[in-house]
């Protein structure tokens, strides 16, 4: 088990960084669309988030 530790840590760090990047991008887009006019966001959400 100890020999497999560094490989598991690298995979874990890559997955955590990827998930964090995806969540930050999603939150940025949600804030960006909320700042725009509201009816356009509700019309675009059905197309963007499917």
Q: Is 36 helix (H, G, I), strand (E, B) or coil?
A: coil
Q: CA-CA distance, 5 to 3, in Å (whole number)? A: 6
pLDDT number for residue 50: 47
pLDDT, mean of residues 5-31? 85
pLDDT number for residue 28: 84
Q: Which residue has the higher pLDDT, 20 or 9?
A: 20
Q: Which residue has the higher pLDDT, 27 or 6?
A: 27
- For the chain, state the CA radius of gyration: 18
- Smallest CA-to-CA distance from 29 within 14, 15, 7, 49 is with 49
Global pTM exceeds 0.75: no
Q: CA-CA distance, 36 to 50, in Å (whole number)? A: 20
pLDDT number for residue 29: 83
Please, which contacts does 29-36 make with residues 24 or more away whose CB atoms are closer than 8 Å?
Answer: none
């Amino acid at each position: 088990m100890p020999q497999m530790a560094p490989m598991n840590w690298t995979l874990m760090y890559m997955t955590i960084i990827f998930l964090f990047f995806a969540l930050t991008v999603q939150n940025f887009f949600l804030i960006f669309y909320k700042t725009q006019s509201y009816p356009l966001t509700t019309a675009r959400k059905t197309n963007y988030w499917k």
